[in-house]
Amino acid sequence: MTEELHDLDSRGFASDNYSGIHPEILEAISVANGAHQIAYGEDVYTSRLQDVFAHHFGEGIEAFPVFNGTGANVLSLQSMLPRWGAVICAATAHINTDEGGAPERIGGLKLLPIATPDGKLTPELIDQEAWGWGDEHRAQPLAVSITQTTELGTAYTAEEVRAIADHVHKLGMKLHMDGARISNAAASLGQPLRAFTRDAGVDVLSFGGTKNGMMLGECVVVLNPEAATGLSFLRKLNMQLSSKMRFISAQFIALLGGDLWLRNASHANAMAARLRTALEDGIRDGEITGVTFTQATQSNAIFVILPAGVADRLRTHFRFYDWNPATGEVRWMCGFDTTEDDIDSFIAALKQELSV
């Protein structure tokens, strides 16, 4: 007998990872569960997955399903670099701040982080670390990694990605995109996935699924075959080769085979926009005081500074994370299952705590 261990009414704004599985994806897992299929990616679902990704990114790409985002990022960058290679990234990048040192300790890569005001790199910022080629005393900067959307909830336009790609390619470097929330970016920009990835010059993409309704699974998508080598071996070497890969692939087929990826991301973005509008209305009407926005809301994330003590009191009702405890900055995330009632209840609780 299955035991219910958690409150099914529990809601929060900590992460889009907190949500359950979208019903359409859960159904796809169930459908894929019958009979036997060849293990380690030789199944019909993983074969079909190649066509699904090709539909979005064009022919000539190759997709490698993996378990998680850290694995996807490490594998991508390993496949793009020699052992002496270094990766330029934003200081706030997930590979630099939230992957436990895996890119460096497991991947053997040197990260060269750069401070940014909004989580986004530019050619000018990249030039701060794009130097020293041929110097045997310096790890060679041979790749740039950008995140779409960024850890600060901002989105690169296709033109911004193209400017970065042209710049780093001219310098003999390669471009990786961490697309943990790439669907949210597409929804925000109103553009197809290919417009700001392959068509904009991205070489290798980590495509996210877990934050957008999947149970687990991400995918390394090689957009430029000349930019990556050895992924089949690296995936096994890094413990990211699933024996029952059909269940990861079936989820991606359900997510990307129709418009579920866009529906989920659009809804999450819309809920963040609703939350921001409610906050702005409250500030304008004087019902919300002492709350300061720190970033533009371009996807499903909102960043604000709260008065001292408010965050801890508010967390007794809704879980969320501190972003910068020193300044009182917090992050609120919306997901595919966030409801209008969630937003309204959260705003009511915030107003109550601000009045204490």
| % of the chain residues with pLDDT over 70 | 100
Q: How far apart are CA 253 and CA 27, in angstroms?
A: 12
Question: Any bridge partners for residue 231, and if so which?
Answer: none
pLDDT in tens, 254-283: 999 999 999 999 999 999 999 999 999 999
pLDDT in tens, 113-146: 999 999 999 999 999 999 999 999 999 999 999 9
Strands 174-179 and 204-208: parallel
pTM of the model: 0.97
Q: How far apart are CA 148 and CA 138, in angstroms?
A: 28
Q: pLDDT band at 190, cuts 50/70/90?
A: very high
Instruction: Give just the sign of the alpha carbon dihedral 117, 123, 127, 133.
Output: positive
Q: How far apart are CA 74 and CA 233, in angstroms?
A: 13
Q: How far apart are CA 203 and CA 191, in angstroms?
A: 19
Phi (first) and psi of residue 6, to 5 degrees: -135, 160
User: DSSP letters along 108-155, please?
Assistant: --EEEEE--SSS---HHHHTTT---TT-TTS-EEEEEEEESS-TTS--
Residue 302 has pLDDT above 80, yes or no: yes
Contact 64, 75 (CB under 8 A): yes
pLDDT in tens, 320-347: 999 999 999 999 999 999 999 999 999 9
Q: In the chain, what are the domain boundaries? A: 32-258, 261-354
At residue 7, the pLDDT reads 87
Strand order in the sheet with 321-324: 292-293, 301-305, 329-333, 321-324
Q: pLDDT band at 296, cuts 50/70/90?
A: very high
Chain centroid to Cα 114, Å, comes to: 19
Residue 1 has pLDDT above 80, yes or no: no
- 246-256 and 44-57 helices cross at what angle (nearest 10)? 30
Contact 109, 77 (CB under 8 A): yes
At residue 294, the pLDDT reads 97
Q: How far apart are CA 226 and CA 169, in angstroms?
A: 13
Q: How far apart are CA 321 and CA 316, in angstroms?
A: 12
Contact 121, 175 (CB under 8 A): no
Q: Report the candidate in 122, 83, 74 with the shortest Cα–Cα distance to residue 101.
A: 74
Residue 204 has pLDDT above 90, yes or no: yes
Residue 206 has pLDDT above 90, yes or no: yes
At residue 165, the pLDDT reads 98
Q: How far apart are CA 174 and CA 141, in angstroms?
A: 10
pLDDT in tens, 11-34: 899 999 999 999 999 999 999 999
Contact 146, 122 (CB under 8 A): no
Question: Any bridge partners for residue 319, and if so which?
Answer: 12
Cβ burial of 271 (10 Å; 0-12, 13-18, 19+) is buried
Question: Any bridge partners for residue 141, and if so which?
Answer: 86
Residue 215 neighbours by CB distance under 10 Å? 15
Amino acid at 21: I
Least confident of 10-14, 22-26, 77-81, 207-211: 10-14
Question: What's the Rg (C-alpha) of the chain?
Answer: 21
Q: pLDDT band at 314, cuts 50/70/90?
A: very high
Which CATH fold would you assign to the domain 261-354?
Aspartate Aminotransferase, domain 1 (3.90.1150)
Q: DSSP letter at 100?
A: T
Say whether domain 32-258 belongs to CATH 3.40.640.10: yes
- Location of structure tokens 């973005």: 269
At residue 328, the pLDDT reads 95
Q: How far apart are CA 250 and CA 65, in angstroms?
A: 11
Contact 194, 256 (CB under 8 A): no
Q: pLDDT band at 4, cuts 50/70/90?
A: confident
H/E segment holding residue 260: helix 260-285
